[in-house]
Amino acid sequence: MTAELLINVSPGEVRAAMVEDGILVDLVLARGHRASLVGNIYLGRVTRVIPGMNAAFVDIGTGRSGFIDLDGARPPGEGGRGDGRRIGDFVTEGEAILVSVTKDASGRKGVELTRRIGLPGRYLVYTPFQKGVAVSRQIGAAEEQARLSGLVEAIATADEGFIVRTAAAGATADDLAADAGALRMVWESVAEAQPRAEAPALLHAELDPVLWLLRDQLHEGVETIRIDHPVKAKAARDFCAKSIPWAENRIMLYSSEEPLFERYHVEDAIERALSPRVPLKDGGFIVIETTEALTAVDVNSGGYVGRDSAEETALAINLDAAREIARQLRLRNIGGLIVVDLINMEGAESRRRVLDEITDACARDRTPTRVLGLTEAGLVEITRRRRRESLAQLLTDLCEPCEGSGRVRTVETVALELLRALVREAHAGSPGTLIAYAAAEVVGALSETLRPALEEAAAMTGRRIVLRRGQDYARTHFEVAVGTEP
């Protein structure tokens, strides 16, 4: 299997695509003014304690209060579930508390918070308030778990803790010690800033999106890392030289006139990832529908009739679907509870093979994913940790005209697509002013919230950009022209 990491840096947005054997398997998006807050550390102010929910709201200075439940509010070492304690035992209104973000805001829900601080590095997570060493369960070999645990225990002091990440498999003692030292320095800066800060205040922000992607998404199976921005490519090489030495020489600056994601057919794959229907290789298909409570996946045979018996046909389609479902969960970043309705199989051996196939395919997911098994109704239950917005939530809005039964691209998504079109036109077209015709709401976004991205596009192309409201333009429709406007 060949794997490549493609990183596209465009005005207002960074996109990273993991491509394995020419197939898009993972996509991560980071938008400048809407970047993920997961991993950020804040000195927050408790604004409201809700005894009936055993939870509290905390102002962290982002304009929308975060949410902390009983487990998140309980300091490390302060008992556990079932001890009868309540949220009011740990936080009071008006109190300033140190918290980190564990899950981004989604829909009507604000960010989720915890007092159990963890600073992630390449190989380790530093836990200043939790003593001891824990090892990721995704490091399967018991011998490797024991080796890593021993190495980190020798590094850790009596009053600190570490979690060994999956990426640490095969790491040397020097690798681990360097990572631990860097994390201690970050924590020292947070601890020093806390007494001087006035809540709400940001004390520590996660890495730049490109560097975060390299730290958390890169594995040694990735043969090439292509980045289409010279400044970001240099920053990536400098980061890898210090933190991931084996990857430094795999970073390549992509400088072709053809956009990176178009060259590798990623744009088309993103478009397909927004469709509920996904074709399978042998003629079957799956349908993916997400609600607030869960995601339902339905497996269908379509036109496939290629086996001698109904049982063999069902088994073949279900095995094909198992691999595709695991890929789609990663690609679409679907979290929470997933329920899969397979084509019915009578044989226990057939059901076991399909469950094993789903489990093996999900094991390659870097986001913790568990296959819980078959229900009495013959449905496969899967849980996948939800920390960031799904691809559909990032790229689309609920469609108001159809009262939520469909989705339409967000104004932000269309505006950023328009900026990419302007950059392409500047490279391919004749000299002159770039004129963009778009819906009023798209022009409004580029003139206000996305103004920095518009200015970045103008600087990148060396052209003047003029925005024009297209009469009766639908949100997703825009046109680009070159003119001589003063």
Residue 248 belongs to a domain: yes
What per-residue confidence (pLDDT) applies to 207? 85
- Sheet of 433-438: strand order equals 465-469, 433-438, 478-483
Q: Within this chain, do residues 192 and 283 fall inside the same structural domain, yes or no?
A: no
Range of the domain at 92: 41-204
Q: Within this chain, do residues 314 and 377 fall inside the same structural domain, yes or no?
A: yes
Q: Within this chain, do residues 250 and 317 fall inside the same structural domain, yes or no?
A: no
The total number of structural domains in the chain stands at 4
CA-closest candidate to residue 232, choices 32, 447, 18: 32
For residues 411 and 409, what is the distance between their CA atoms, to the nearest angstrom? 7
Exposed / middle / buried, residue 397 (Cβ in 10 Å: 0-12, 13-18, 19+)? middle
What per-residue confidence (pLDDT) applies to 40? 94
Residue 83 belongs to a domain: yes
**DSSP H helical ranges for 156-208:** 173-193
What per-residue confidence (pLDDT) applies to 153? 93
What per-residue confidence (pLDDT) applies to 73? 92
What is the rounded radius of gyration, in angstroms, for the C-alpha atoms of the chain?
24
Residue 63 belongs to a domain: yes
Residue ending a domain, choose from 204, 229, 244:
204
Q: Within this chain, do residues 45 and 30 fall inside the same structural domain, yes or no?
A: no
DSSP 55: E
CATH value at residue 284: 3.40.630
Q: What is the pLDDT along the chain (486 residues), one digit of tens a residue?
A: 789 999 999 988 899 999 988 899 888 888 866 678 889 999 999 999 999 899 999 999 988 899 999 999 998 777 667 677 899 999 999 999 999 999 888 767 889 999 999 999 999 999 999 889 999 888 878 899 999 999 999 999 988 999 999 888 888 999 999 999 999 999 999 999 999 999 999 999 988 888 888 888 888 889 999 999 999 999 999 999 988 889 999 999 999 989 999 999 999 999 999 899 999 987 889 999 988 789 999 999 887 666 678 888 889 899 999 999 999 999 999 999 999 999 988 888 999 999 999 999 998 887 889 999 888 888 999 999 887 888 888 888 877 666 566 778 899 999 999 999 999 999 887 888 999 999 999 999 999 999 999 999 999 999 999 999 988 888 889 999 887 665
Q: Within this chain, do residues 58 and 199 fall inside the same structural domain, yes or no?
A: yes
For residues 269 and 205, what is the distance between their CA atoms, to the nearest angstrom? 31
Q: Within this chain, do residues 122 and 244 fall inside the same structural domain, yes or no?
A: no
CB-based burial, 163-189: b 16+ in 10 Å, e otherwise? bbbebbbebeeebbbbbbebbeeebee
Please give the structure tokens belonging to residue 120: 């992630």
For residues 403 and 411, what is the distance between their CA atoms, to the nearest angstrom? 18
Residue 291 belongs to a domain: yes
What per-residue confidence (pLDDT) applies to 484? 66
CATH value at residue 15: 3.30.420.40
Q: Within this chain, do residues 55 and 200 fall inside the same structural domain, yes or no?
A: yes
For residues 417 and 6, what is the distance between their CA atoms, to the nearest angstrom? 18
Residue 334 belongs to a domain: yes
Q: Within this chain, do residues 49 and 31 fall inside the same structural domain, yes or no?
A: no
